[in-house]
Structure formats: structure tokens, C-alpha cells
């Protein structure tokens, strides 16, 4: 039996999802998409999972689409890349944005093409100091996909987004942190310990509140101030009805540590 392309490990409220095709730098095949979809199904259904950690096996995070994977071609017709996005990448990106659990990404090595944009669809991105981010699409005559043209200008501004997308040059993790492309760059040897500790911490926090924060921040990308103030009003109303909010206030008043249950 062949190795699974996705590893799923669940412990301490954290689902660790590992892209697992290290010999091909974890490039995406159709089979890998299917396994990842299955893992996300499991995560979405299990309320005991309160944070997700995404990373790659081996020396790379993800080299994007596997350029040899012809499994998506139909008969002798030319491969419809739009169809590949519609069926595989777009639902994946939407799921990560909409997942009401914090998603930490540990970029353990090179991220290229859709691999970069998959990382940028996560909520908190840590990267090993040696990792690089390559918007490699332009080298192939393609357009950044998997949400890249949405995330890049919003995270780093138009000038840097254009530079990354039109030149396809590797951007190092330190530069990525300085630009605000990612949350933090850490020493290679510390990456997994730091990312796991962060995910474990998030898994002890008010999960519903964190999910609502995520929704609010992501909604702001296409809202006016007035619209966003309405979003905050509605989400705060919801947050104020959670058990965890009451626990947070009680713990504060009783001068003790809160015990959040994610409800």
C-alpha cells in the first residue's frame, strides 16, 4: 500500500495535518486533494478539535500543483486548469477561510505556487528562517491562484504583490515577516515546537470567539467602515451569548485563570 499523501494526527485539541509527499516537495496531486478534503471533513465534524496545524513533511512545505499529475485530464482534451481550480483549489481555500477554528501554518521549507497561497489561506503563518516563498506561476505563464491575488495585495500591498507575482523570485522568511506576509519567522530547529505550542495554546482558548474574530477580520477585506461596524455588532452579540464569554468574565472577577471549553 502506498504512503498516505496526508497525515492527520489529533492530540490535545489540535489536529495536525501534514502534507506528505516529501520526495516531490509535497506537490499537490488529485489524490492529495481528496485526502485533505477527507481530513477537513473529520476536523469540521469533531468539536473537540479546537485548532489546526498545517505543515509539510521533509525539507519543503509545498511546491504547489504537481506538474506531472495528469489525473485531472479528461480523455484527450487539453487540461482545463480553471476546472482544476473550481473543483479542487477553490473549495480548499474557501474551507480554510471559513473554518471556525484557528489554523496555524508551519512553513518548514520552500513554498512555491499554490503552496504559498495555501499557507496564506491559514490564519497564523510561522516560517522556518530558511524557508522561501515563490509565486512561481509567472515562470509557467500562469496566474497566481488558490487565493494568491486576493491575499497578496491585502497582506503586503500592491507594489510587493506585483513584484512577487511578476518576478517569481524567492522571498525569504525574514523578508516575509518584515513585509507582513507572515506572522513570524523562527529558527529552523524551533519551528515545529513553536508552532505546536501556539496551536495547543489556541486549542485552550474560547474557540467560538476565535472563530468569530476570524470571520470579522476576513469580512473586512470587502467592507466599508459602516458595514464592518455592523458585522462587529452582530458577531459581538453572538460572542456575548457563549459560555466562554461568561467564563472569561467570571474568571476575571474571581481573579483566577479561565477554563474555556470552546462553547
How far apart are the C-alpha atoms of 190 and 263, rounded to whole Å? 32
Contact call for residues 5 and 35 (beta carbons, < 8 A): yes
Q: Closest approach of Cβ 3 to ligand LHQ, in Å?
A: 15
Q: Closest approach of Cβ 78 to ligand LHQ, in Å?
A: 12
Cβ nearer to ligand LHQ, comparing 71 with 250: 71
Question: Strand 14-19 and strand 51-56: pairing?
Answer: parallel
Cβ nearer to ligand LHQ, comparing 6 with 136: 136
Q: Closest approach of Cβ 80 to ligand LHQ, in Å?
A: 9
How far apart are the C-alpha atoms of 16 and 240, rounded to whole Å? 30
Q: Closest approach of Cβ 107 to ligand LHQ, in Å?
A: 12
Q: Closest approach of Cβ 105 to ligand LHQ, in Å?
A: 16
Residues 6+ apart with CB under 8 A from 122: 54, 96, 103, 104, 105
**DSSP label at 217?**
H
Cβ nearer to ligand LHQ, comparing 118 with 198: 118
How far apart are the C-alpha atoms of 18 and 105, rounded to whole Å? 10
Cβ nearer to ligand LHQ, comparing 25 with 103: 25
Cβ nearer to ligand LHQ, comparing 49 with 105: 105
Give which of 150, 96, 83, 147 is closest to 124, Cα–Cα. Answer: 96
Cβ nearer to ligand LHQ, comparing 145 with 244: 145
- Given CA atoms 145, 147, 152, 158 in this order, what sign does their dihedral have? positive
Instruction: Using alpha carbons only, give the angle 216, 222, 226 rounded to the nearest 5 degrees.
Output: 70
Q: Closest approach of Cβ 35 to ligand LHQ, in Å?
A: 17
Give which of 38, 63, 46 is closest to 10, Cα–Cα. Answer: 46
- Contact residues toward ligand LHQ (CB under 6 A) are 24-25, 27, 63-68, 81, 84-85, 89, 110, 112-114, 134, 136-137, 140, 142, 145
Amino acid at each position: 500500500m502506498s504512503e498516505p499523501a496526508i497525515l492527520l494526527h489529533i492530540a490535545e485539541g489540535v489536529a495536525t495535518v501534514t502534507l506528505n509527499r516529501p520526495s516531490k516537495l509535497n506537490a499537490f496531486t488529485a489524490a492529495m486533494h481528496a485526502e485533505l478534503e477527507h481530513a477537513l471533513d473529520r476536523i469540521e465534524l469533531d468539536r473537540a478539535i479546537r485548532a489546526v496545524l498545517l505543515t509539510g513533511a521533509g525539507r519543503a512545505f509545498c511546491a504547489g500543483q504537481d506538474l506531472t499529475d495528469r489525473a485531472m485530464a479528461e480523455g484527450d482534451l487539453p487540461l482545463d486548469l480553471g476546472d482544476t481550480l473550481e473543483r479542487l483549489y477553490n473549495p480548499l481555500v474557501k474551507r480554510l477561510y471559513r473554518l471556525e477554528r484557528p489554523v496555524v501554518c508551519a512553513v518548514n521549507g520552500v513554498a512555491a505556487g499554490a503552496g504559498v497561497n495555501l499557507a496564506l489561506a491559514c490564519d497564523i503563518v510561522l516560517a522556518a528562517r530558511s524557508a522561501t516563498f515563490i509565486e512561481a506561476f509567472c515562470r509557467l505563464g500562469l496566474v497566481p491562484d488558490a487565493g494568491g491575488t486576493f491575499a497578496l495585495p491585502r497582506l503586503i500591498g500592491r507594489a510587493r504583490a506585483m513584484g512577487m507575482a511578476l518576478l517569481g523570485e524567492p522571498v525569504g522568511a525574514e523578508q516575509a515577516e518584515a513585509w507582513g506576509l507572515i506572522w513570524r519567522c523562527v529558527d529552523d530547529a524551533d519551528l515545529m515546537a513553536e508552532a505546536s505550542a501556539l496551536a495547543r495554546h489556541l486549542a485552550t482558548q474560547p474557540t467560538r470567539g476565535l472563530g468569530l474574530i476570524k470571520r470579522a477580520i476576513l469580512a473586512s477585506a470587502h467592507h466599508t467602515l459602516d458595514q464592518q461596524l455592523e458585522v462587529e455588532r452582530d458577531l459581538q452579540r453572538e460572542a456575548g451569548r457563549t459560555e466562554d464569554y461568561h467564563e472569561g468574565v467570571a474568571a476575571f472577577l474571581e481573579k483566577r485563570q479561565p477554563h474555556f471549553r470552546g462553547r
